[in-house]
Copies of this chain bind each other. A is one copy, B any other.
Amino acid sequence: MDDKLDAIFSALADPTRRAILGRLANGKATVAELADPFELSQPAISKHLKVLEQAGLIRSGREANSRPRVLEPAALKTIADWIADYRRFWDQSFDRLDDYLSKVQGYEND
């Protein structure tokens, strides 16, 4: 599971890959369509797509001549769930904020 988080977070650490996901949020797209906005070679895009696919963030289809990609939301949920464990640290509605602030400001609490 740690490996899964590693792969997802590091896939998301690249702005090109995040932009690709953004495009796929509008629906499936071919490699050429995904490459279009970037000044990168086609193989560079294919590499990014492979990273995203191995992280489980997208899937490849098959359609005539092309291999369209679609978003795979489960992987995004995986890290959303991970982050949710920290939500109390910024969201007042978890109302542990006071405890947290006392720690940050160095008032002893152990």
Which A residues are closer than 8 A to B by beta carbons? 2, 5-6, 9-10, 12-15, 18, 21, 25, 27-28, 59, 61, 63, 70-71, 73-74, 76-77, 79-80, 82-83, 85-87, 89-90, 100, 103-104, 106, 109-110
Contacts and interface: CB of A to CB of B under 8 A. Distances in A.
Which secondary structure dominates chain A's binding surface? helix
A13 B70 CA distance: 23
Contacts of A110: 27
Q: How many copies of the chain does the oligomer comprise?
A: 2
A23 to B, nearest CB: 13
A107 B29 CA distance: 13
Contact of A13 (B9, B18, B80): B9
A83 B89 contact: no
Contacts of A90: 73-74, 76-77, 80
A85 to B, nearest CB: 8
A71 B80 CA distance: 18
